[in-house]
Structure 1
Amino acid sequence: MAEAPALDAVSRRWAYASGASSLLPLLLQLPFRIGALVAGTALVMALLGSRGRLPGLLRMPLVLALVAATLVLAGFNFGRDTGCALLAVMIAAKPAETSTLRDARSLVGFALFAPFATFLLDQGPLSLALGLGAGFVALLVLQRLSDLESGLARQPVPLRRRALAIARLGMLGLPLALAAFWLFPRLGSPLWGIPERALARPGISDSMKPGEWIDLMGDDNPALRVVFHGETPPPSSMYWRGPVLWDFDGREWTQPRGVRELPPAAFVPGPVQWDYTMSIEPTDNRLLVSLDLPLAAPDDASLSLDHGLFADRPQYGVSRWRMRSSPPARYQATLDPVQRARALALPSGFNPRTLALASQWRREAGPDDAAIANRALQWIRDEFAYTLTTPLPGRHSVDEFLFDHKAGFCEHFSSAFVVLMRSAGIPARVVTGYTGGYYNRIGAYWLVRRSDAHAWTEVWLRGRGWVRIDPTAAVAPERIYDTLADRTPGAGGLLGGLGATPALEFSDWVRRGWNDLVLGFDVERQRHLFRPLGVDDIAPGHLILMFGLFGALALLWMLWLSQRGERDPDPLLRAWHLVGRRYARLGLERGTHEPAQAWAARVAAERPDLGPDLLELSQRFSDWRYAVATGTQRRLIRELRAHRPRRRDQGERR
C-alpha cells in the first residue's frame, strides 16, 4: 500500500488549530485542574509533533500516565464528566503522532467528538457557538487536506472562498434541521438515561458542613430565574426553600431518611399568596427550591414532610415549574413525639459550653421559649460579626464559634443557633436554599444566583408551630467585615456593583431566552406550538404530516441551492469554461477528453485567424492550473472573459 503523503508545516498547523478549536468548548466545562492538564498536554504534544512523529515506545507510557493523572484528579470517580475528560486527554495526545495526511484527517475527525461530548455537560449558547465554530474550522482543514492530496495545494484557494463554500453547505441543511427540531414529534420521556456526573455540580445539597459553602457562595452562575404573575414579594421576603436538615453528628448536618416519603405537614396560609414560574438550571439531582412555603407540589414533583420540593427525576436540563406559595400564619401547630425527638437530638460529647449556657438561659427564662430565641438574637446583634474569613472548625465547632471566634457566615450562624436552641429544649432545624434575588429590567424577571445560597433556621414555638428565624440577618451592619461583594465585585446576593450593569442584564436575558426557546422546548410546548394561530393542540400524527410537508420543502430548497452551486467555484476555471462555450457556438467545441492546449492546437489548425490568441491563453491557463504561473490570476481571468472569437463569415464578436 502506498505511503500517505507527508504534511507540510502549514497544513500541520491547520490540523492543530482544528484540534484546539474542538477541545475548547469541552475544556471550559471540565474542572479547572483537569482542563489545565489537557491544555498543557495539547501544547506539549503539538511542539513534539512538529519535530516529527513521537516513537511509539514513548507515546504509550505517556498516554497511560495522562490517563492515570486524569483519574487521580477526578478522585477515581467514574461518570460522564470523567469520560469527557479522558476523551479530551486522548485528543490532546494525538498531535504527537500527526505527521502524514492520514494522521491529520484522523486528528480532525477524532477531535470532532469533543464538541459533541460538551453537550453532555452543558447545552448553553456558548457551547453551541464554539461547537459550530469547531465544525467550521474542521471543514476548512479537510478542504485543505483534500487539495494537498490532489496536488492543488500549490495554488491555494483563498480562505474567503473556502468559508463561503462551507457557509453554502450550512445553508443547504439548515431548513431541514429547523423542521426536525420544531416539528418532529418529541417523546414525553427519554428512551435512555445518561450517566451521572462523577464530580457534582456546585449547588445546595441535602447536607451541610459549616465552612464548606465558601466555594458555592463565590459562584456567580445563575441558579434559577423567576417570573411573578401578579404581586411580587420584596427581596427581603424571598426565601427560596431547599432541603431541611434535621440530623447533626457534631460536624455535619444531614437530611433524615424517609422524610421525603411522608406527606407535607399541615400549615395555615397567610393572607398573601405568590403566583410565579421558576426556570431552574440543571442540578443533576432531584433537589428543587420554592418560595417559602409552597401551597402544593407541581406535576412531576413532590413535597416532603418539611415542605422540601423534590422532582420525580434528576434534573439534567433546564426545568420550568409553576408554583403558588404563601408565608404561613401557623405551620404545624402540633409536633408529634417522633419529630420532636428528632428536632431536639444532639450528639453526646460535643460543645459542653453551649450546653451549659443553654441550661442557664432555660433556668432564667422558665418555659418561655420565645424569650430564649430572642435573647440569642440579641447576643448575635451585640457581639457577633459577619466574615468569610473563618478558621477550620475543631471538635467543638459550635463552642468555638459562639465563645471564641464570634464571626462567620450563614452556615456557622444557623448551625450554632439550632444547637443552642436544642440545648435549651427548643425543637429546631436548619433550612438551606437561597435568599433574595436581582431584578433584570430587560427581561422583567428575578435572577437568583448560586452565590445567593443561604442557610437559616426554624424553631418550633408552642401555639405558632415552626417559625423562621434568620440569625445571620441579626448581625449589626457595622460588624459586616468581609463579604463576597468585597472580594469579587459583582458577586453576592444582589450581584454587587457589576451585577446591575446593562451588559450583564442583557447577557443573562439572552441566556434565559435560549433556555426558553431551545432547551425548554419539550413535548408539551411542541403540542401548543401553534396556539398563537388559533390551534390549541396538535396531535402527534398531525405533527408528522407537518414535518413531512416542511421536510419536503426543505429538500426542494437543498436541490435548488445545489443546482445553483454546480458551477465550478474556481473563478479561473469558470472563465475558461466560458471561453469554451463561446467557441462551441462556432462549431469548435472542446471534447471532454481534450486537454486545454491540445484543443487550442486543433482550433488553430481549423481557424488560423483564431489560433494565436487561443494558444496563448490556453498556455497561460495551463501554467496557472498545473505549473508555475507568471502574472496575476485576476488579469488572466479578465482576459479570458473578454476573449470573443469572431465568426468567419460575419466577423462579429461573440
Structure 2
Amino acid sequence: MSTPAPPLDPQSRAWMLLAGGACVLPLLLQLTPSLATGIGATGVLVAAGSWRRPLPAVLRLLLALALVGAVLATTRFAFGRDTGCALLAAMLAIKPAETFTLRDGRSLLGFALFAPFATFLLDQGPLALALGLLGATLALAALLRLAEVESGDVRHRMPPWRRFATVWRLTAIGLPLALAAFWLFPRMATPLWGVPQRALAKPGLSDHMAPGEWVDIMNDDSTALRVQFDGTPPVPTQMYWRGPVLWNFDGRQWTQPRWLREIPPATVQPGATRWDYELELEPTEGHQLVALELPTAAPAGARLSLDYGLYSAKPLTSLTRWRMRSAPPAAFEPRLMRTLRQYALALPEGYNPRTVALARQWRREAGPGNAANDAAIVQRAMRMIRGEFSYTLATPLPGRNSVDEFLFDYKAGFCEHFSSAFVVLMRAAGIPSRVVTGYAGGYRNPIGGYWLVRNSDAHAWAEVWLDGRGWVRVDPTAAVAPERIYDTIADRAPGAIGDFTALTPMFDAGDWLRRGWNDFVLGFDAERQRHLLQPLGLRDIDSGRLVALFVGAASLALLWMAWLTARAEREHDPVLRAWRRLAARYDRLGLGRALHEPAGAWAERVSLARPDLAGELERLILRFSNWRYAARQPGSSGERTLVRALLGHRPRRFPPALAGVSATSHRQHGESA
C-alpha cells in the first residue's frame, strides 16, 4: 500500500500561498483591470475559504466554469496570448481549494512558476522582470521549506533568510551560463515560430474612428513611442506624427480604405528642412507605424501607402526601432486623380442636412471652385470654430446627424469631433478633404534628451486639397485649444497634477531607465549581436565564430558551476569548513589526513611522528566526532565554540626540543651567506 502524502502545516501553507500569489501578480498586471481584479479576488477568497478544509467539489467546478467563462467573454471568445495567460492565472487562483498535502503544494508551486514566464509573452519590461524574479525566489524558497518538512528533521530547518540566500546563491551559480546564452547564442533574424497575437488589442491608433472611441486612448498616459533626433528637433507646432488616413464616412464612422495601402505613394516635393531621427515604437499588435510629417522614404521592413501611411511588413508584437528621415512638404500630390477626388468628396445621403446647407451657402458666396475661393472657405470655417467653439472631453454620444449636433447645438468637443465636422463641411462645400490620425506634440525628457509621445497625445486633424499646393494640413482643434496641441513642458510633464510637478523628475528617471532597458536588453537582436565585438576590432561575427564563442563561454560557465556547486557542498557546514582548514594546516607539515583515512587512525599517525601534538589533536577529534554524529542544533553556542577551537589550533612546525636548534641553524646559515 502506498504511504499517504504528509499534510501541509499552517506555516508551509502560508509560504506556498504567498509564493503562488507573488508569481501570479506580474501576470495579473498585464490583464484588463476588470479581469485581473476578478481573478485576484477569487484567489484570495478561495485561499481563505479553504484554509482548514477543502471546498466542495461542486463549488470548485462552478468556480472553474465561472472564471473560464469570464475570461472567454472578456476576450470575445478569441484565442490569443492574453487569453492563455488569463486562463493560467484563473486556474492558479482556484488551485488552493484542493491543496492540502506536500505533494499538492509542490504541484501548485510548480504550476505557479509558469506565471512569471507567461508574463514575458505580454510584457518584457524591467518591472515585469523584477516581479517575476521575486515570485520565482519565493516559490523556490517555499519548495525548500516543503523539502525540509518532508525530511522530518526539525533540527535542520533553515531560517527564512537562509532559504533566500540559498536560492540566490544557486541563481548566481547559473548566471554566467545565462549571460553567455543571452549574448553569444546565435540569434536568427527571423524566428522559426511565432506566438499568437493578443485577443484584445492594446490602446492605440486604428483604421477607424467612431464617436466616443477616442476617450479611452486620450486618457491613457502609457508610452506610445520615443524619438531621438540626430540634430535640432522641430518646434512643437511641427510635431505631427502621421498615422492612419481616413477617407470613408458612413454618417457615423470614419474608416480607411484598405486598397489604398497597396498603391505606391503619391508625388511629394519635400521642403528644404530635414529631420533625421530614430523612432522607438511600443508594441501595438498591428502593422501601423507613425512618422513625422512627411517621411521621405519608407525604412527597411516597411512601406508607404498612397496617402503616406507607413506600414510594417510584420506585426508589431514587440518593441521596434526605425531610422527615418522626414521633411515638411512644399507640395503634396499637386495633381489629384479623378477617382481619389470622388473619394475625397463623398458624403452619405440623408445625413447632416444643416451642415450641407451651410457649406453650399458658403460656396455660393465664395464663388466657383479654385485655389483662392477654396482657401477662403477654409479660413471662414476656421474663424467660426475659433470664435464659437470650446474644447472638452465630456461630450454626449451623438445621434444620427452627429456633425449637425456638434456644429449647431453643443459646439464643444475634442479632436475627434472637430476633424470629422470640418472634413464633412469641406466636402459639402466641394473641397476634397480627409481625416488624418496620429499624435501631436511630445514631451522632452531632460535626462535622456529624447522626446516621449504618449497615447494621450493621440490626435486627429484634417487635410484639404488646394489646387497647386495639393494636400494641406488644417487643424481645427488647435484653433480652439492651442494649449492642447502645443502645450508647454509643464503641461505635458509626466506625473504632473495641475501645477504640481514635484513627481516629474521621478517619472523622467523611470522612463529613462526603461529606455535604457529597451536598448540594452530588448533591442539586442541578431544585427547587434553580429557587431558585439566591434570595440575589439571585429567588425562582423559570422555564425561559425559566434557558435565557437558560445561553446567556449558556455564550457567555462559549466566548469564554474561545477566547481562552485562542489565547493558549496563541501563548505555548507561551518564545522566542516573549520575541520578541513585544520587538516590543511597539518598537510603543510607533511602530516595531512588522507581522504580514506579515519580520524582516529590519523591521530595515531600524528602521535607517532609528533607526540607533542597528539594530545590536543585527539581532544579536537573527539569533540568533532561527538558533534558530527550526535544530536546537535545548528547555530548553537556549542557549534560556535567548536569552530573557534578548530580554527584556533595552530600546530608548530618543529617540536619544542628542536625549535631552538632549528632557529640557530637558520641564523647561522643566513650569516654565512
Q: TM-score when scaled to structure 1?
A: 0.89
Per-residue CA distance 1:367-389 (angstroms, 9 max, x = gap): 31111110010001101000111
Once the two structures are TM-superposed, the CA of residue 566 in structure 1 deviates from its matched residue by 2.4
- Work out whether residues 437 and 459 of structure 2, in 8 Å CA contact, stay in contact via their aligned partners in 1: yes
Which of 456, 462, 465 aligns to 1:451? It is 456
Q: Is the 8 A contact 2:332 2:471 kept in 1?
A: yes
> Given the superposition, is the C-alpha separation of residues 581 and 295 from structure 1 closer, same or farther in structure 2, using an over 3 Å criterion?
closer
What is the aligned counterpart of 1:424 among 425, 429, 432? Answer: 429
Instruction: Specify the alignment match of 1:219 in structure 2.
Output: 220
Q: Distance in 1 between matches of 2:616 and 2:473?
A: 103
**SS of the counterpart of 2:278?**
strand
> What is the SS of the residue equivalent to 2:141?
helix
Count of residues in correspondence between the two structures: 634
Per the alignment, in what secondary structure is the counterpart of residue 275 of structure 1? strand
Query: What residue identity is the alignment partner of 2:33?
Result: F
Aligned to 1:468: 473
Equivalent position of 2:410 in the other structure: 405
> Would you say the 8 A contact 1:267–1:330 is kept in 2?
yes
**2:572 alignment partner, one of 562, 569, 573:** 569
The reply to whether residue 369 of structure 1 matches residue 374 of structure 2 is yes
Q: Which amino acid aligns with 1:517?
A: F
| AA in 1 matched with 2:304 | L
Task: Say which is worse superposed, 164-173 or 13-22, in terms of deviation.
Answer: 164-173
Partner of 2:532: 529
User: Alignment RMSD, CA only?
Assistant: 3.3
For the residue of structure 2 that corresponds to 1:29, the secondary structure is coil
Once the two structures are TM-superposed, the CA of residue 68 in structure 1 deviates from its matched residue by: 1.4
C-alpha distance in structure 1 between counterparts of 2:538 and 2:137, whole Å: 39
Matched, 1:545 2:548: yes
Partner amino acid for 2:636? Q
Question: Secondary structure in 2 aligned to 1:448?
Answer: strand
**In structure 2, distance between residues paired with 1:22 and 1:85:** 13
TM-aligned CA deviation for residue 209 of structure 1:
1.0
Give the distance between the partners of 1:167 and 1:321, measured in 2 at CA.
Answer: 38
Alignment partner for residue 434 of structure 1, among 436, 439, 448?
Answer: 439
Instruction: For residues 463-512 of structure 1, give each alpha carbon's deviation from its aligned partner in whole angstroms, at most 9, with x where no partner exists.
Output: 1110000000001669x8xx9999998479x9986498221111111111
Q: Which has the larger radius of gyration?
A: 2
Structure 1 residue 257, shift from structure 2 partner: 2.2
Q: Which runs of 5+ in 1 are unaligned?
A: 597-606
SS in 1 for 2:104: helix
Decide whether the 8 Å contact of 2:242 with 2:437 is kept in 1.
yes
Change (3 A) 1:305 1:581: closer
How far does residue 636 in structure 1 lie from its aligned partner after superposition?
3.4
Contact 2:495 2:504 in 1 (8 A): no
Question: Residue 76 of structure 2: SS of its match in structure 1?
Answer: coil
Answer yes or no: is the 8 Å Cα contact 1:490–1:497 preserved in 2: no
Aligned to 1:600: none
Q: Which residue of 1 aligns with 2:81?
A: 80
Distance 1:68 1:211, change over 3 A: closer
Q: 1 CA distance for matches of 2:8 and 2:598? A: 32
Q: Does 1:383 align with 2:388?
A: yes
The alignment status of 1:39 with 2:40, answered yes or no, reads yes
Kindly report which structure 2 residues correspond to 1:474-553, keeping only aligned pairs within 5 A, or say none. Answer: 474-475=479-480, 490=494, 498=501, 501-553=504-556
Structure 1 counterpart of 2:337: 336
The answer for the alignment partner of 2:187 in structure 1 is: 186
- Identity rate, percent: 57
- Per-residue CA deviations over 1:540-566 (Å, capped at 9, x if unaligned) read 111111112222222222223223212
- State the alpha-carbon separation in 2 of the partners of residues 221 and 442 from structure 1: 19
Aligned to 2:166: 165
Secondary structure of the structure 1 residue equivalent to 2:262:
coil
Cα distance between partner residues in 2 of 1:592 and 1:254: 87
CA distance in 2, matches of 1:252, 1:466: 22
Aligned to 1:268: 269
- Cα distance in 2 for residues equivalent to 1:17 and 1:419: 58
Amino acid at match of 2:545: H
**Superposed counterparts of 1:107-256, under 5 Å:** 107-256=108-257
Q: Give 1:635 shift.
A: 3.9
Give 2:66's aligned amino acid.
A
SS in 1 for 2:296: coil
Tell me the secondary structure at the aligned position of residue 279 of structure 2. strand
* Kept in 2: contact 1:579–1:641 (CA 8 A): no
Tell me which amino acid in the other structure corresponds to 2:480.
V
SS of 2:241 mapped into structure 1: strand
Report the counterpart of residue 13 of structure 2 in structure 1. Answer: 12
TM-score by length of 2: 0.87
Contact 2:494 2:507 in 1 (8 A): no
Shift of 1:532: 2.5
Q: Structure 1 pair 577/52, CA: closer, same or farther in 2 (3 Å)?
A: farther
Cα distance in 2 for partners of 1:259, 1:157 equals 68
* TM-aligned CA deviation for residue 622 of structure 1: 6.2
Instruction: Answer yes or no: is the 8 Å Cα contact 1:451–1:491 preserved in 2.
Output: no
Please list every run of 5 or more consecutive structure 2 residues that lacks an aligned counterpart in the other structure: 601-613, 658-673
Question: Counterpart of 2:277 in 1: which secondary structure?
Answer: strand
Distance 1:352 1:139 in 2: 69
Aligned to 1:28: 29
